[in-house]
Structure 1
Amino acid sequence: MGKTPPKFDPRMTPARPDLAAAWLKGEVEAARFVEGEKRILLGPFAALTRIPDASAPLDSMILYGEPFEVYEDKSGWVWGRSGVDGYVGYAPSAGFLPAAEVPEPTHKVIAATTHLYPEPKAKCYPLGALPRLARVAPTGRVENAFAEMADGLWIPQVHLAALDAWEPDYVLSAYGFLGAPYLWGGRTAAGVDCSGLAQMALAMAGMDAPRDSDLQEAALGRPLESGEKLRRGDLVFWPGHVGILTSPRGLIHANGHHMAVAAEPLRDAVDRIGAPRSYRRLPLRRRLTQD
């Protein structure tokens, strides 16, 4: 079989020599084309990797309540495409349920992490936890400031917001991850990488962003003109790395030097990493309309 044409980025294209998404028929070569099945993850998160191997490097994560278009379910692994950012990969099949069997989520987690309680009592021992931006379906029942979920577990009501409630400032959202450990492919406060931090901070402000830094550089905002002054909220790109300016001279980013999300002077990062490849400007406000 021929290779996928160069115009199709393999990270975003559900196509293999033996199998591809039906919507790619006529665009790529594959032995078989199939319609995808929309599933929803009902687990805290699922690792997304390039091969179906638990020891494979982490490429990204699917979070609780996020959709995943499945094209193959085989030997304990699903292969498909994220319904959030289009990223393609393999994930353990446990926890992925057909969308028709899952209540439509109406809320999201806004705390760094929230716990799932068997009863609406803070002194109960929690049965699990969910990361920031997990999508949930409360029943509408509230007791002792806890909201009941569709599965009968309870979450502190203060940790939830409506899906369409956005943070007004993605720089402050990025600060919500400050100190989180660095994790290649991570998208949670328990572990996040540079592009994951940018993606999640922007998502909290209602802005969609691709998964990887090179894709973000190509798709987000506009390039700064020569001589244009830096300002808070600009994105700074190095080869394989991205950070968010907290001021014309300050930067917040998840990085391997600190092995954490750290805020530091931009000059320190430039001296350590080298000259940035580009700067891009985004609006410092949430998106008012959804595309």
Structure 2
Amino acid sequence: MTHPRLHPARPDLAADHLEGIVEAERFVEPVDMQVTAGVTAIRREPRDDGPMDTQALFGETFAVLEERAGWAWGYSRHDGYVGWIDMAALSQSMAPVTHRVSALRTYLFSEPDLKSAPLCLLSMNSKIAAGERDGRFIDAGGRGWVFEGHLVPLGTHAPDFVAVAEQFVGTPYLWGGKESLGLDCSGLIQTALEASGINVLRDTDMQEAEFAERFTAIAVDAPRQRGDIVFWKGHVGIMTDSNRLLHANATFMATVSEPVAETERRAAENDSPVTSVIRIEG
């Protein structure tokens, strides 16, 4: 996809794999770095108050193309999203990940002891390089200890992405968020599907285009069922049954489940009808 948010190219600099495709003053081979903060913002500009477009979770890889005054410009290896990350959240030491967090959230402890000082919170789909076991805790590649009951090996998937999404009910709405303490509508979709073994793009417009190609579109006025994904311009939610929609939204500033008729009524008042309904099967 050539969307600017997924296109690591500027007039002065671009990723080397784009040479011959785009014009830039120079092309650079990315340097992979690993996120070692519990979560970190991918920002549009290299400053602490720069707009946050998305987030990177512990253990994910960020391909760095430029370092500038404590900031790294590049793209996420997870979903291709381009932006700036605070260098303090990254490490050049790469630990191959083996497990992901399956709980809504869990602590990264300083020692294999529930009474030890927590280093940070890890949200669902954070990834660790599992080392030795000590009691009920797993070493996270020398970066702390995680309760083993909150981890599953990579490749172990939740059977029902809707049930995963339902765990986020009550989570505050956060533009650009994809963590258990705050997320937006498309962040909820991406997170729930990843936990179920389906990797998708990040933003609503990207998801709608991608889903139309990968999955089954049904008529917007057709009867709906659990798991159907409903799109509006700039918004998306998941049907939990034939009548209710689960979505992170700015109306309630939270993830809520409500009658889809109410969602559609509010959207219609803003001249925003349903644009597509996608059924994810198989």
TM-score range, shorter chain: over 0.9
**Partner of 1:69 in structure 2?**
63
Q: Stretches of 4+ moved more than 6 A in 1? A: none
Structure 1 residue 103 corresponds to structure 2 residue 95: yes
**Partner of 2:147 in structure 1?**
156
**Partner of 2:181 in structure 1?**
190
Structure 1 residue 27 corresponds to structure 2 residue 26: no
CA distance in 2, matches of 1:158, 1:151: 19
Structure 1 residue 280 corresponds to structure 2 residue 278: yes
Alignment gaps of 5+ in structure 2: none
Superposed displacement of residue 121, structure 1: 2.5
Tell me which of 248, 251, 262 is aligned to 2:256.
262
Q: Structure 1 pair 206/230, CA: closer, same or farther in 2 (3 Å)?
A: same
Alignment gaps of 5+ in structure 1: 1-6, 286-291
**Partner of 2:169 in structure 1?**
178
Superposed displacement of residue 29, structure 1: 1.0
1:120-159 matches, within 5 Å, as 120-143=112-135, 145-151=136-142, 153-159=144-150
Superposed displacement of residue 125, structure 1: 3.4
Asked whether the 8 Å contact 2:106–2:123 carries over to 1, the reply is yes
- Spell out, residue by residue over 1:10-39, the C-alpha distance to the aligned partner (whole angstroms, 9 max, x if none): 100000011011111111111111111111
Superposed displacement of residue 128, structure 1: 2.0
- Spell out, residue by residue over 1:226-279, the C-alpha distance to the aligned partner (whole angstroms, 9 max, x if none): 764211101100110000010111100000011001011111111112231111
CA distance in 1, matches of 2:49, 2:109: 31
Asked whether the 8 Å contact 2:42–2:55 carries over to 1, the reply is yes
Superposed displacement of residue 152, structure 1: 5.7
Superposed displacement of residue 109, structure 1: 0.9
Matched residue of 1:127: which SS? strand
CA distance in 2, matches of 1:190, 1:95: 18
Q: Structure 1 pair 225/238, CA: closer, same or farther in 2 (3 Å)?
A: closer
Q: Structure 1 pair 263/75, CA: closer, same or farther in 2 (3 Å)?
A: same
Asked whether the 8 Å contact 2:37–2:120 carries over to 1, the reply is no
CA distance in 2, matches of 1:189, 1:227: 32
Asked whether the 8 Å contact 2:219–2:276 carries over to 1, the reply is no
Give the AA of the match of 1:66.
Answer: E
**Partner of 1:47 in structure 2?**
41
Matched residue of 2:207: which SS? helix
**Partner of 2:6 in structure 1?**
12
CA distance in 1, matches of 2:247, 2:58: 24
1:174-253 matches, within 5 Å, as 174-220=165-211, 221-225=215-219, 228-253=222-247
TM-score when normalising by structure 1: 0.91
CA distance in 2, matches of 1:203, 1:93: 26
**Partner of 1:4 in structure 2?**
none
TM-score when normalising by structure 2: 0.93
Give the AA of the match of 2:52.
Answer: L
Structure 1 residue 117 corresponds to structure 2 residue 105: no
CA distance in 1, matches of 2:154, 2:222: 36
